[in-house]
Structure 1
């Protein structure tokens, strides 16, 4: 039995073939999963009865375009040997309807292309991708680029030191999902820990001669490395696939993806409130910075 039994693909509104479609088809083939394809588009333009000239022909063309796509896409994907359903959903509230689809279909994974919103727009409006990371109850695979249908290299990005990752054993959830995906795709699993020592410098650790003790910094680094090694040992990750790198998480992950040509980075997220929700998480920042694709899982406990 494959890793996934049911996949939900949020298809591109333009109806064009996309990286997420390529990934969804490949995963469905490899796992034997049912593939549910949904696209969420604006309703057909409203035709007012009081207008002097009613463009009924335009209205019908709009509907026929999507209905034709439903039939043709279902036939094309079925021809690839997949069990599929294809549906266009006309909506003015796509996030709500996507979450409703998740509840109704109960897929194991939601797959969607990354929507690259302008930076200024993201300042005032939270993109739908970020809403999905926060609110979708199942793992979300946001595809930025797909060199291959099936991933050739999977990376689990963990942080044994961050208190938020201790909630609901999030690190374990990340590695378990990454390892399962790697096995399904016959791909190597890498473990990456981008450790950042700067938070310690804001603590009450003792100063030596007006500066930070070299011994203190080295001891801190060794304790972080030990936690990482312990985690890697627990899941049998070989030494050559363990990466303990100093630096801020998002830049380190981005550089790692480029260097190792990683196809998927598996990351975690927790439910955030207050100022943390406004600032966003490393996972959300990675969405627009990491050149590959991310698979986001979350703990079962809300923090």
Structure 2
């Protein structure tokens, strides 16, 4: 089975070993004829600010740095991954995410793999990390990797959405849910893993009983829970997933997913991430962006 045929790995210039590359090589080892490209984006602001050199001289200096970095990085790769077939490419660019997206589009990559770490949420309001740009703008799946193993018979958590009203059109909702679950099933086969479905439903607002005196909060909460259970069990049955592996909890999606990941000791979370461009691409709040900082495992975001 070939799930990913053309993988783009984002190199980590600072940390070794290359966690994202190791994960991509593992995926490749479970398939046939997989191509892996490793992209290293380098940039040094000091070479842009100096006024002592002409633009051509600055360009020559940048090219020389790229050549030296390529030699050094190639030597390190040969030492760390002596038997791996890797296509290494270095580019000079001040916005790494733009280089990554351009490379993925130009070469029709079907997966982007990048190592990640916790982000400072306050600074992220002012400066969006590369990870978040990829989650918002990439047209292909993005796998954000943390430093841990993928053991045999590990656990995959697929995050499923349920609309609150049956009067709303569920075509898009069902479509992404089916894609997430199909992705989990294919990775289950590829990695010999177990699938768990996770769903969060909203809790009753605390002050609603005061604002609406005759409102029955308990009955309302039970109705919402039953609606989600019915939808989730129907979805699980469609894909032959047992009820024991269906997890439904009240709360914010990022909190519920993090709790379930910890409970089942998951290696991977799969969820949907809407593609955003323009002004909306600068807004904070995508579930995938909040989840990645609250889990201790990898995250695969689908569009």
- Give the structure-1-normalised TM-score: 0.82
Q: Return the match for 1:174 from 164, 180, 188.
A: 180
Question: What 5-or-longer segments of structure 2 have no aligned partner?
Answer: none
Shift of the 39–222 alpha-carbon distance from structure 1 to 2, 3 Å rule, reads same
How much does 1:60 deviate? 9.4
| Partner residue, 2:14 | 14
Contact 1:108–1:139 (CA under 8 A) maintained in structure 2: yes
Aligned 1:63-142 pairs, distance under 5 A:
63=66, 65-72=68-75, 75=78, 79-80=82-83, 82-142=84-144
8 Å contact kept, 2:204–2:217: no
Secondary structure of 2:30's counterpart equals helix
Distance (whole Å) between structure 2 residues aligned to residue 164 and residue 281 of structure 1: 21
How far apart are 1:290 and its partner, in Å? Answer: 1.6
CA–CA distance in structure 1, aligned partners of residues 198 and 64 of structure 2: 50
Q: Contact conserved, 2:201 with 2:224, CA < 8 A, in 1?
A: no
Quick check: 1:221 aligned with 2:222?
no
Q: Does 1:263 align with 2:267?
A: yes
RMSD: 3.3
Question: Could you list the runs of 5+ residues in structure 1 that have no partner in the other structure?
Answer: 299-303
Deviations 1:8-58 (A, max 9, x none): 10010226213222211111111231111111111596376669xx9xxx9
Classify 1:139/1:232 alpha carbon distance in 2 versus 1 (closer, same or farther; 3 Å): same
What residue is the counterpart of 1:28 in the other structure? 28
Whether the 8 Å contact between 1:44 and 1:62 is mirrored in structure 2 is: no
Distance 1:117 1:87 in 2: 27
